[in-house]
Chain A
Amino acid sequence: MKSYVLSAAVAAILAGTFLSCGKKSNEIIIGGVAPVTGEAATFGASTKNAFDLAIEEWNGKGGIDGKKLKLAFADDKGDPAEGATVFTKLIQQDKAVAILGPVMSKVALAGAPIAQAASIPMMASTATNPKVTLVGDYIFRACFIDPFQGTVGAKFALEDLKTKKAACIFDVGNDYTKGLSEFFKAKYTALGGEVVAFEGHATGTTDFKAQLTKIIAAKPEILYVSDYYNDAALIAKQARELGFKGPMVGGDGWDSPKLTEIGGAAIEGSFFTNHYAADDTRPIVQEFVKKYKTKFGAEPDALAVLAYDGAYLMFDAIKRAGKLDGPSIKAALTATDMAVVSGQVKFDSDRNPVKSAVIVEVKNGKFVYRATVNP
C-alpha cells in the first residue's frame, strides 16, 4: 500500500515536471528587477514600463526562435537586502535565464554576486557605480559610467565650443560630482586645453561665491559644473552675478525641470551630457518615444530608455546565442554590436557599454538636443 502511494506520488511529480517542462519549452523566462515602491519609485515605474514594452515588441515579432518571452518581475524596493532576496527567487524559483535591472547601484551590488554565482547574465540598466560590473563576467550594464561623462564633456567643450581654458567646480563630499570633474580635467588637459581652476565646495552649502570669485579671476572660457541640478542652478546664478559670461557644462545630474526653475536665465545657453534626448531626430529614438507615449501617456525619461535598451541588448544576445544557458548568452553579450535608442553599443572588457552620449542644451527654459559625441 505504502509503496503504491509512493509510486503514485512519484508519478504525479514526474508528470508535473514533464508538464511544466512542456509548458516552459514555449517560453523564455526573463527576470526583471526594479524598485516600484520606496524612495526611487518613479525610477522603478519607468524601468518596469520599458521592460514591458520591450517584451511586448519582441513577442509581437514572434519571440525568440518561436518561443515567447515572459517577464518574471520583482520589486527590490530600493533596498539591497530585498534585492538579494528577489535575485535568489528569480533565479531559483522562476528559473529566469537572464536578469534585467536593477536600477540602483547599491541594489545591483547586492544582486550581482548571486547572478554571477548562478552563471545567469545580468543587465543593470542604470547602476552607474564602476564596481557593479567588476563583480564578475556575467554582469553587464546599459548605461555609461560616471568617468565617461566627464570625458565627453571635456571633448565637447574643446571641440564643439572651441574653448581653450576651463574651470571645474564640484562637491568635495560626493564621489559622483568629484569623479566627473576629475575625468573632465584629465581629458581636457590631454586634448590640449588648460584647466585654470579646480575648486571644490562643502556638501550642503549655498554660498559658492568664494570659489567662483577665484575661478572667474582665472578667466576660464567655460565652467564645468558637475553638481546635481539643485546646486548647479545655484552655482549658475552666483557665477552670473559675479560676472561670468561663458557657457557652463554639466553631467546627467542636471536632468531635472528644477534646473531651469531655480536657475532661470542664469543657466540659459549651458549644456549637459545625457544618455538620450527626447527630441533627438534619429528614427530609432523618435519611434521609441512615440511608442512609449502611446502606451504609457508620458515622455520616457533616461531610466526608461536605458531599461529598454538593456532589454533589447539581452534579447538580441539570447537570439544570437541560440541556446538558453548562461555561458552561451554571456558569450553572445560580449560580442554585442547593436544600435539601440541610446546609441550604437559594444561592450568593453569590463562589460561597460562603449557608446555615444548626447549633449543637451538649455534653451528658453527647455532641454534641446544639440549633438551626439562619440567616445
Chain B
Amino acid sequence: MAELFSLQQIVNGLQLGSIYALIALGYTMVYGIVRLINFAHGDFYMIGAYAAYAAFFLFNAYIAPGNVLVFIVLIVAMLVGAAVAMLSNKFAYKPLRYKPKLSSLVTAIGVSMFIEYFFSAFPPIGPSPRGFPEVLPKVMWTMGSAQVSNYVVIDLVVAAALMTGLTLLVQKSPLGRAMRAVSQDKDAAKLMGINVEGIISFTFLIGGAFAGAAGLLAGLTYPRIMPYMGILPGLKAFIAAVLGGIGNIPGAMLGAYIMGIAETTANAYNSLLGEGIAFVILILVLLVRPTGILGEKTADKI
C-alpha cells in the first residue's frame, strides 16, 4: 500500500492528467458554446501528434533538438490542430447548427471516423505505428523516490501555461466575455451585436489548438503515434470533462487531473482490474453529483 501514493505515481498521474486536461478543455468549451459533444476531438489530438512529427523532421535540418525546437513544434501542432478544428466546424457542424442536436452528434462521430480512416488510408501516414522522435535530449533527475525527466516538466509547464492563458482570456478579455455571453444565450448575444458564428469558430480554434498541443505532449511522453491513437484518450478526456461538469472550464481541468491520478492509482493498486476501478470511482462521483463536480444545474445535457 505504501507505494500506492508514492511520489512517482503522483508524478505519473499529473503527467497523464495534463494531457487529458488539454483535450478535455476542447470538449467542454465546445459543449459550453454550442451544446455539441464533438467526438472528433480526440482525432484533433492525433492530428496534432502527426503535425508535430512532421514539423520535427522539417525543422530538425536547421535547428538541433532542444527547447527551441520543442517550442516551434508545439506552435505547428497547435496551428494544425486549430485549423482542422475550424475546418470541421465550418464544413460539418455549422450547416447543422439549428437542426436537431442528434444530427450534429452523429455528424461528429462521422467526422471522427473520416479522419481516422483517411489518415490510415493516406499513404504518407498509413496505418502502422511510428516512433515519435526525441525532440529534445532527455535529462533525468532523481527527486527523492521519484525519477523525473525534463519531459515531465515540459508536460506540466505547457499544460499549466495554456490553462492559465485560457482562464485569463475567458475571464478578463472582451473576447472571453463574448464567449461567456454566447454560451449563456446565443440569441441575446446576437442582439448585443456579438458575432456568434465568429465566437463559435474561435472556440473551435482554441479547442483544436489545445488538442494539438496535447498531441505533441503525448508524442513526447508516450513516443508512438498512430491514426487511432486519439480514440481512447479522447474518450477518457470526455469522461473527465463530464466528471468536472461539462461546459465548465475549471471543472474540465479538475476532472482531468482526477482522472489521471485515479487511473494511475488504480493501475498501481491492481493492474489486472486496472482502469475498471478508476471508472467505478467516476460512476460513484456522478451518482452523488450528476452534473459533475463543478457543473451547474441545467436541464438539457445529451
Residues of A within 8 A of B (CB): 172, 199-202, 204-207, 209-211, 213-214, 217, 230, 233-234, 237-238, 241-243, 258, 261-264
B residues less than 8 Å from A205 (CB atoms): 232, 275
| Complex A-B: 19 CB contacts under 8 Å | A172-B274, A201-B271, A206-B229, A210-B12, A210-B13, A210-B271, A211-B267, A213-B8, A214-B3, A214-B268, A217-B6, A233-B224, A234-B222, A234-B223, A241-B138, A241-B149, A242-B8, A258-B129, A262-B131
Asked if B128 is at the interface of the complex by the 8 Å CB criterion, the answer is yes
Are B271 and A199 in contact (CB-based, < 8 A)? Answer: yes
Q: A210-B12, A230-B129, A243-B147 are in contact. Are A201 and B267 (CB under 8 A)?
A: yes
B residues less than 8 Å from A264 (CB atoms): 131, 134
A374 vs B8: C-alpha distance when bound (angstroms): 40
Are A242 and B147 in contact (CB-based, < 8 A)? Answer: yes
A residues less than 8 Å from B232 (CB atoms): 204-205
Give how many B residues have a beta carbon under 8 Å from the other chain's beta carbons: 38
Are A238 and B222 in contact (CB-based, < 8 A)? Answer: yes
Are A262 and B223 in contact (CB-based, < 8 A)? Answer: yes
Are A213 and B6 in contact (CB-based, < 8 A)? Answer: yes
Beyond A211-B268, A243-B142, 9 extra complex contacts between A and B, CB < 8 Å = A207-B264, A209-B12, A209-B15, A210-B264, A213-B9, A214-B9, A234-B223, A258-B128, A264-B134
Are A261 and B271 in contact (CB-based, < 8 A)? Answer: no
A residues less than 8 Å from B149 (CB atoms): 241
A230 vs B226: C-alpha distance when bound (angstroms): 11
A interface majority secondary structure: helix
Are A210 and B267 in contact (CB-based, < 8 A)? Answer: yes
Asked if B130 is at the interface of the complex by the 8 Å CB criterion, the answer is yes
Asked if B43 is at the interface of the complex by the 8 Å CB criterion, the answer is no
Q: A206-B218, A262-B224 are in contact. Are A241 and B140 (CB under 8 A)?
A: yes
Q: 3 closest pairs, A vs B, by CB?
A: A262-B131, A210-B267, A206-B222
A201 vs B218: C-alpha distance when bound (angstroms): 18
CB 8 Å contact bits of B113-138 with A (1 = contact, 0 = none): 00000000000000011110010001
A241 vs B142: C-alpha distance when bound (angstroms): 11
Asked if B272 is at the interface of the complex by the 8 Å CB criterion, the answer is yes
Asked if B265 is at the interface of the complex by the 8 Å CB criterion, the answer is yes
A230 vs B130: C-alpha distance when bound (angstroms): 9
Are A261 and B140 in contact (CB-based, < 8 A)? Answer: no
Are A210 and B218 in contact (CB-based, < 8 A)? Answer: no
Residue of A nearest to B151 (CB): A241
A210 vs B13: C-alpha distance when bound (angstroms): 8
A206 vs B12: C-alpha distance when bound (angstroms): 12
Asked if B16 is at the interface of the complex by the 8 Å CB criterion, the answer is yes
- Max chain B CB contacts within 10 Å: which of A207, A243, A261, A262? A207
A220–chain B nearest beta-carbon distance, Å: 14
A217 vs B5: C-alpha distance when bound (angstroms): 12
Q: A205-B232, A206-B229 are in contact. Are A200 and B16 (CB under 8 A)?
A: no
A residues less than 8 Å from B222 (CB atoms): 206-207, 234, 238
Residue of B nearest to A238 (CB): B222
* Contacts of B97-117 to chain A: CB distance below 8 A: none
A132 vs B191: C-alpha distance when bound (angstroms): 72
